[in-house]
Chain A
Amino acid sequence: MRLLTHNMLSCNIKGVANGFPLRLEAEKWVEKEVELNADFLRHIFPKIEWKALAGAARAVGYGELPEEADAAMLDSEDFLRRFHHALLEIHVEEGALVCPETGRGFPITKGIPNMLLHEDEV
């Protein structure tokens, strides 16, 4: 799972109002190089919750993202590269996603988060 997906996911349990962001508890992650596409980064930037991304990046040991970001920074080559690396090149392989409200954990195995809910959570 890339941080892109983590940034879009929120907790789906019934009655949870603030299911975002899911706390990322990463145990194992890998980095895979992907070609940088500035157009995509500019397109996706407004949809990204920056705080959540920066937090998740720190959880996988990548602390080079600034705390705050705005659209003007997208012109900087350096910023784009960091953004790209955090968003698309880090794959969380093992760990868990934890709902911020209920503390329910969704395990990640082999890079696939298990988001299945129990019957009483639907």
Chain B
Amino acid sequence: MPRPEVQAPPEIFYNETEARKYTTSSRIIEIQAKISERALELLALPNDGVPRLLLDIGCGSGLSGETLSENGHHWIGYDISESMLNVALEREAEGDLLLADMGQGLGLRPGVVDGAISISAVQWLCYADKSSHEPRMRLKAFFGSLYRCLARGARAVLQLYAENMDQSEMIMMYAMRAGFAGGIVVDWPHSSKARKAYLVLTCGPPSVQSYLPKGKGEDGAMCSEDEESDDDGGNQTVGMYDRTRPRKKAKINKNGKGKEWVFKKKEQMRKKGYSVPPDTKYTARKRKAHF
């Protein structure tokens, strides 16, 4: 079956029927609960028994929020699908729910949230579902607003299913640009089914807190679920910490390289002994736009 992301926008894909699955399928419920427990573990909240205010981005029917509530935390859930939120209401989710689009930014006051989790949601940002959608701008808005609303030293753990390396690289790049430190933790990298990638991000400057935890089963340990025998063991298992660092881009502004640059180049060429036309008021002047 094709990925849900390529079938329809999230608010359409998660309709009544699809949302219903999240209350009836015990398998989905179990997997969601497991992932959210792991995400909460990776969040590494101080173990002092004080409830925290957390975000659940793409909370859907509130399955992941349930894990947060069980651990005593207060949470605010974001989702774009009304049907999913209705299911969350039915399930009596304890957190507060918001119907919102994470690609438009979270709209929270700065520095108020103690942590954020997101289960299988962020990859949706990589798809342009409307003509006004620009995935890069949406990623930027999302990570920018997430960075702002998190308290210093707080973490965000985003579990995601990237379609390919380019996608996870793009997501990672925008996270880094927003100011986050961190990387990707891959659980069960050798299994194609149980493999889960978590983007673990820390807000603020690198510190002791921003070390990256190890993924489960990295040392080749078998995972509890039945291991796929046709595991390709190819490039999918490569750790991505170093690769995903954003490269510096050469700065070229819209108007081209500018007058100063031309003068500098001409001077350089003169020094080399070439015959260069003299500098006049016409040198590198702006031209009228034709057409």
Which A residues lie at the B interface, using CB under 8 A?
A: 1-2, 4-5, 7-12, 19-20, 37, 39-40, 43-44, 47, 49, 88, 110-117, 119, 122
Contacts and interface: CB of A to CB of B under 8 A. Distances in A.
A113 B108 CA distance: 14
Contacts of A115: 98-100, 107
A50 B217 CA distance: 47
Interface in B72-117: 72, 74, 76, 80, 85-86, 89, 96-101, 104-109, 111-113
B104 A12 contact: yes
Nearest to B94: A34
B107 A12 contact: yes
A113 B99 CA distance: 6
Given A5-B96, A112-B97, A39 B51 contact: yes
Contacts of B132: 119, 122
B173 interface: no
Given A115-B107, A116-B80, A8 B98 contact: no
Contact of B108 (A9, A37, A49, A117): A9
13 contacts: A1-B96, A2-B96, A5-B96, A8-B76, A9-B98, A12-B107, A12-B145, A43-B52, A44-B53, A112-B89, A114-B99, A115-B107, A119-B132
A60 to B, nearest CB: 15
A100 to B, nearest CB: 13
A8 B99 contact: no
B60 to A, nearest CB: 13
A4 B99 contact: no
Interface of B: 49-53, 72, 74, 76, 80, 85-86, 89, 96-101, 104-109, 111-113, 130, 132, 141, 145, 149, 151
A5 B56 CA distance: 13
B159 to A, nearest CB: 23
A39 B107 contact: no
A2 B111 CA distance: 19
Contact of B74 (A4, A11, A12, A112): A4
Contacts of A116: 80, 99-101, 104
B100 A4 contact: no
A114 B151 CA distance: 25
Nearest to A34: B94
Contacts of B49: 39
A4 B141 CA distance: 24
A8 B113 contact: yes
B85 A112 contact: yes
Nearest to A88: B74
Given A117-B101, A122-B132, A43 B50 contact: yes
A115 to B, nearest CB: 4
Contacts of B112: 8, 47
B99 A37 contact: no
Nearest to B76: A5
B109 A20 contact: yes
Nearest to A91: B96
Contacts of B72: 37
A45 to B, nearest CB: 12
A9 B109 CA distance: 6
Contacts of A39: 49-51
B109 A12 contact: no
A34 to B, nearest CB: 9
A1 B255 CA distance: 49
B68 to A, nearest CB: 13
Given A9-B98, A111-B89, 14 more contacts: A2-B96, A4-B53, A8-B76, A8-B112, A8-B149, A9-B108, A10-B108, A20-B109, A43-B50, A47-B53, A112-B97, A115-B99, A116-B100, A116-B101
